[in-house]
Structure 1
Amino acid sequence: MTQRLLPRLLALAAASLVSSAALAQVSVTEPWIRATVPTQKTTGAFMQLKSAKAARLVEVKSPVAGRVEIHEMAMQGQTMRMRAVDGLDLPANQSVNLASGGYHIMMFDLQRQLKEGEQVPLTLTVQDAAGKRESVAVQVPVKPLAYKPAGAAH
């Protein structure tokens, strides 16, 4: 019986790997979170996202924050305003930049100070056109308060 069961288990394991690879369509590059001072309760997270298929970033979570939102900064008249959005479109095979001054991730009700050099877990939830959701776990480095990524606008 063991000899018959082993090939089936191997086939099942191989099928699940192929299935997982098919779902792993979103890549995250250059992620970072801005460090905080001891009593600070909010911070931002930034990164580039690229999806193999058209999808939408619909949720972000982290165990270090009570609430995490996808935000947009935009000019309204002469004033820069920040607001939460219900999601962010990820066009197929196009990089979407989450950066200061545009779309980004806001982390609220921080449980503790986030210090330069540590890694913070984020879980991104992405939904495809058929409504199927995928979670993407990312370990995000915390950068100094004054950090500016290469090529960032001044």
Structure 2
Amino acid sequence: MQTKQLTPRLALAAALLLSGLAHAQVSVQDAWVRATVPQQKATGAFMRLTATQDMRLVGASSPVAGVTEVHEMKLVDNVMKMRAIPALDLPAGQAVELKPGGYHIMLLDLKQPVAQGGTVPLTLVFEGKDGQRQSQELQAPVRALGAAAAPAGGHGKHGGH
């Protein structure tokens, strides 16, 4: 009888351990969000992501935004273009930079201004090769509007998004 009681406990312990390992599969470093000015309805979140195994960033959310998307900016015919992408590959062991003028997380339809010195809660959603999804929550500090400014024609024109 004791074996039957131990088995569910072991299963629960294993599940808890695996859920903890799942969250540890992607390291998030130097996360930050760009401050906004009054009436600005969009801003970006930036960070460095390093996965322990091949994964993909497939989504994000934040209570400060009505819509949160993974975006890419790239130069096309000498014009910076920005677009939402369905996923961002995170090759095992390689740091992937989300930065102004490149890949980033867009926070759209902001519910209030994002003030320097505050923090923005973010939930990132990752997907493994097996299709399993996991989320990771973080608090990203808010930096000044001019922090790590993008090249001319880059992220600085996001205000009217």
| Shift in Å, 1:17 | 3.5
> CA distance change for structure 1 residues 118 and 9 in 2, over 3 Å: closer, same or farther?
farther
Q: In the alignment, is residue 122 of structure 1 matched against residue 117 of structure 2?
A: no
The equivalent residue for 1:19 is 18
| 5+ long unaligned stretches in structure 2 | 153-161
TM-score where L is the length of structure 1: 0.88
In structure 1, C-alpha distance between the alignment counterparts of 2:67 and 2:151, rounded to whole Å: 28
| Shift in Å, 1:10 | 6.3
The answer as to whether partners of 2:57 and 2:87 remain within 8 angstroms in 1 is yes
| Shift in Å, 1:8 | 7.0
The equivalent residue for 1:59 is 59
The equivalent residue for 1:143 is 143
Counterpart of 1:72, as a letter, is E
How big is the alpha-carbon RMSD for the aligned residues of Structure 1 and Structure 2?
A: 2.2
In structure 2, C-alpha distance between the alignment counterparts of 1:140 and 1:9, rounded to whole Å: 38
| 5+ long unaligned stretches in structure 1 | none
Counterpart of 1:23, as a letter, is A
| Shift in Å, 1:38 | 1.5
The equivalent residue for 2:72 is 72
The answer as to whether partners of 2:100 and 2:148 remain within 8 angstroms in 1 is no
The equivalent residue for 1:87 is 87
| Shift in Å, 1:13 | 5.5
In structure 2, C-alpha distance between the alignment counterparts of 1:17 and 1:10, rounded to whole Å: 10
Give a deviation string over 1:123-145, Cα, whole Å, max 9, x none: 00000001000101011000010
| Shift in Å, 1:147 | 1.2
Give a deviation string over 1:19-66, Cα, whole Å, max 9, x none: 123212011000000000111100010000011010100000000000
In structure 2, C-alpha distance between the alignment counterparts of 1:115 and 1:9, rounded to whole Å: 48
The equivalent residue for 1:108 is 108
SS in 1 for 2:14: helix
The equivalent residue for 1:96 is 96
Greater than 6 Å deviation, 4+ residue runs: 7-10
